[in-house]
Amino acid sequence: MAEEQNKDDEISLIDLFAVLWHRKVMIIVITLIAMIGVVVFAVISIMLPPESSPLPNEYTPTALMLINNSSSSGSGMASMLSASGLGGLAGLAGVSTGSTFSDLAIYLVGTNSLLDSVVDEFDLLTRYKLDTPKKKAEHPRADSRKALTKKLTASSDEKSGVFSIAFTDTDPVFAQRVVNFCVNYLQTWFDELGIDKNKLEKENLEKNIQNTYDEILKRELETRQLEQSVQRSGVNIPSISIELSRIQLELGAQRQVYTQLKVQYELLKVTMASEKPVFQILEMAEVPDKKSGPGRGLLCIIVTFAAGFFTVFLAFVLNAVANIRKDPEAMAKLKGPKK
């Protein structure tokens, strides 16, 4: 029984090979036509300009940022989201109070505020031809956001804490400008949310120090003017002396405030030097000199193999049809019962 089964298997394999050998010309010709066709298609797509090429070169510049997630858990994240008005929206998007600032950054990249800013800044309605008479969008704002989200991506590496933004386009310079605009927009947004307390305190101290310094200069100018008026008159007028004493007291107080603010400022600089900021730009996007896609070589290989498998399948189908036509019983079944 085993010998008969092996013999039947051997005969079936021979039959299969016979079918392929009988249809070898069809298999080779169709496969060669597909291979030559896809190669010609790939070459033409390279030669044509990007705006008219069916398969243009695409470039994907990337910007890298370092996001410190050490202080993003618990009540700090919850209070920050509530204060910024993003608590409800972030919750709907899956950004919970236990999420990290990296998760928040990914969420912010997909918000309508950022997307609309990019669309308006670079006039993507015109670039993507959403405002032409032939392709007039019924919902231009929504369609422009959809077109942008297909090309704009954001991701985060949990191990390193590195957050990246990338944009894909046929124009490498344009793609680089879009990425850097998003980075600057996101950094400004993080600053406005007040996430980095040290940075916010540093900015407030700098403003207070400058205001105090301006007040000191103002009081010193008033003091010199009063002293000059006393010297010119040669008479010690009581009202001028009182005013001069008051200004000098205010000047002394302003100098003490200035000294305290400078001490706080220097201490804060030491603290910031020992701590990582919440949002830090590591590398702005550069104009890429190497395309990110498409993989024309891989496309040629896939199409060639697909054509080969299709012709093998077609050979068996044609063989099955031929066998059915030679079988009277099968043809009778196909014709149906006689009336």
- Read off the pLDDT of residues 22-59 as tens digits, 9 standing for 90 and up: 888 999 999 999 999 999 998 988 888 887 888 888 99
Residue 281 has a pLDDT of 87
* Position with higher pLDDT, 297 vs 242: 297
For 255, residues 6+ apart whose C-beta sits below 8 A from its C-beta are 216
Alpha carbons 296 and 58: distance in angstroms, whole number = 12
Alpha helix stretches (DSSP H) within the chain = 2-22, 24-47, 75-84, 87-92, 101-109, 112-122, 124-127, 140-149, 172-193, 197-233, 238-274, 296-326, 328-335
Asked if pLDDT for residue 92 goes beyond 60, the answer is no
Asked if pLDDT for residue 151 goes beyond 70, the answer is yes
Q: For residue range 176-185, what is the model confidence (pLDDT) as tens digits?
A: 999 999 999 9
Lowest mean pLDDT among 52-66, 69-83, 148-162, 181-195: 69-83
The 10 Å Cβ neighbour count of residue 293 is: 13
Please state, rounded to an integer, the average pLDDT across all residues of the chain.
79
Asked if pLDDT for residue 249 goes beyond 50, the answer is yes
Q: Please name the residue that has the structure tokens 């300009």.
A: 49
The 10 Å Cβ neighbour count of residue 11 is: 10
Residue 294 has a pLDDT of 85
Distance of CA 62 to the CA centre of its chain: 8
Given the DSSP bridges, would you call strands 62-67 and 162-167 parallel, antiparallel or unpaired?
Answer: antiparallel
Alpha carbons 322 and 313: distance in angstroms, whole number = 14
pTM of this prediction exceeds 0.95: no
Question: What is the crossing angle of helices 238-274 and 197-233, to 10°?
Answer: 160
DSSP string covering 31-92:
HHHHHHHHHHHHHHHHHS-TTT-SS--BB--EEEEEE--TT-STHHHHHHHHHHT-HHHHHH
Q: Computed from CA positions of residues 64, 70, 71, 75, in that sequence, does the dihedral angle turn out positive or negative? A: positive
Looking at the chain, how many residues does it have? 339
Asked if pLDDT for residue 12 goes beyond 60, the answer is yes
Asked if pLDDT for residue 162 goes beyond 80, the answer is yes
Question: Is the distance from CB of 51 to CB of 140 less than 8 angstroms?
Answer: no
Residue 183 has a pLDDT of 93
The CA-based angle 176-182-187, given to 5 degrees, is 130
Lowest mean pLDDT among 41-45, 110-114, 121-125, 266-270: 266-270
272 confidence band (pLDDT: 50, 70, 90): low
Shortest CA distance to 250 belongs to which of 164, 41, 242? 242
Question: Is the distance from CB of 190 to CB of 278 less than 8 angstroms?
Answer: yes
Lowest mean pLDDT among 3-7, 114-118, 165-169, 297-301: 3-7
H or E stretch including 164?
A: strand 162-167
Residue 304 has a pLDDT of 93
Asked if pLDDT for residue 255 goes beyond 60, the answer is yes
Per-residue H/E/C for 84-116: HCCHHHHHHCCCCCCCCHHHHHHHHHCCHHHHH
